[in-house]
């Protein structure tokens, strides 16, 4: 299934220019020489998420919870169980600030970071447009929608290159892969399906929720790609402003 992603985060509109900033004192720092570096980073990342949740004015970062996404688009996949065009626009994602980090693995010499964690609950509210087919059921609608995620387990893999500015070293992440490993429950509610036919709309939502695993498997690649690109930009907004030696102490 191909996906066309078009999104813009207001929080990231100023990231094209690198200006220096100091990491706030409230952030936990880890030493490169710490024999328990991964454990230190696990704690530091968990605390950093809490700091970033309401936004960080000193680094020109707006809140990550809720996180605004202009558009997520899934294209038709002919021959697949889900063959539809689905556009989510003006989306707000709630719950990212409550992620629980289980493990962090760092290879600082090669500028590679990996982590995995659990998102207990997340909600995406948005406008939607949908036209296509789910299993043998035609679906068409335009209106408001709600997506509920319960117990989402994911892994991330990040790779950076080093760059210099004014004698200081910075990291610029070139990849940020999101791999969703498991999802306990996925529930949807699309309003105004079939031009507001309530009975048909309710029945369609029921079918989607009864067969949520099939629906989710088709949506998952689009969500992995979308959030990978968003988190890549958020990470670079921090790392492009703060020297790496202020993040990972010598």
What is the distance between the alpha carbons of residues 243 and 246, in angstroms, rounded to a whole number? 5
What's the CATH code of the domain at 220? 3.15.10.30
Which residue's structure tokens are 């605004």? 68
Question: What is the domain range of residue 56?
Answer: 19-249
What is the distance between the alpha carbons of residues 155 and 79, in angstroms, rounded to a whole number? 29
135 domain residue, yes or no: yes
| pLDDT level of residue 78 (50, 70, 90 thresholds) | low
Q: Residue range 214-227: average pLDDT?
A: 94
154 domain residue, yes or no: yes
27 domain residue, yes or no: yes
pLDDT at 16: 37
- 82 or 129: whose pLDDT is higher? 129
| pLDDT level of residue 228 (50, 70, 90 thresholds) | very high
Q: Helices (H) and strands (E) in the chain — how many of each?
A: 4, 8
pLDDT at 60: 82
pLDDT at 4: 35
State how beta strands 112-134 and 100-107 pair: antiparallel
4 domain residue, yes or no: no
97-101 contact pairs (CB < 8 A, 24+): 97/49, 97/50, 97/52, 97/53, 97/64, 97/65, 98/65, 99/49, 100/46, 101/42, 101/45, 101/46, 101/49
Q: Using the 8-state DSSP alphabet, how is residue 27 labeled? A: S
What is the distance between the alpha carbons of residues 135 and 212, in angstroms, rounded to a whole number? 12
pLDDT tops 50 at residue 14: no
State the average pLDDT for the chain.
89
pTM: 0.87
pLDDT tops 60 at residue 8: no
1 domain residue, yes or no: no
62 domain residue, yes or no: yes
Angle at 119 between CA 3 and CA 60, to 5 degrees: 75
85 domain residue, yes or no: yes
What is the distance between the alpha carbons of residues 71 and 6, in angstroms, rounded to a whole number? 5
- 74 or 146: whose pLDDT is higher? 146
Q: What tokens does 157 get?
A: 């893999």
Structural domains of the chain, count? 1
What is the distance between the alpha carbons of residues 166 and 249, in angstroms, rounded to a whole number? 19
3 domain residue, yes or no: no
CA 228 to chain centre: 6
pLDDT at 22: 82
């Amino acid at each position: 299934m191909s996906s066309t992603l078009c999104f813009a985060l207001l929080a990231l509109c100023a990231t094209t220019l690198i200006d220096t900033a100091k990491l706030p004192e409230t952030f936990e720092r880890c030493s490169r020489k710490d024999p328990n570096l991964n454990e230190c980073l696990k704690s530091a990342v968990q605390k950093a998420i809490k700091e970033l949740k309401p936004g960080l004015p000193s680094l020109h970062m707006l809140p990550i919870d809720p996180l605004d996404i202009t558009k997520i688009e899934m294209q038709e996949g002919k021959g697949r169980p889900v063959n539809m065009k689905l556009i989510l626009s003006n989306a707000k994602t709630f719950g990212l600030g409550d992620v629980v980090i289980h493990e962090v693995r760092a290879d600082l010499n090669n500028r590679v970071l990996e982590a995995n964690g659990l998102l207990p609950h997340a909600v995406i509210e948005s406008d939607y447009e949908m036209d296509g087919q789910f299993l043998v059921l035609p679906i068409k609608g335009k209106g408001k929608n709600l997506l509920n995620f319960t117990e989402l387990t994911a892994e991330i893999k990040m790779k950076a290159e080093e760059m210099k500015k004014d004698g200081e070293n910075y990291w610029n992440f070139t990849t940020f892969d999101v791999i969703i490993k498991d999802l306990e429950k996925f529930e949807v509610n699309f309003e105004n399906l079939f031009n507001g036919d309530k009975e048909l709309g309710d029945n369609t939502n029921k079918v989607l929720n009864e067969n949520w695993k099939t629906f989710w498997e088709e949506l998952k690649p689009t969500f992995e790609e979308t959030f990978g690109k968003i988190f890549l930009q958020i990470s670079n907004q921090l790392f492009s402003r703060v020297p790496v030696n202020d993040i990972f102490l010598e």
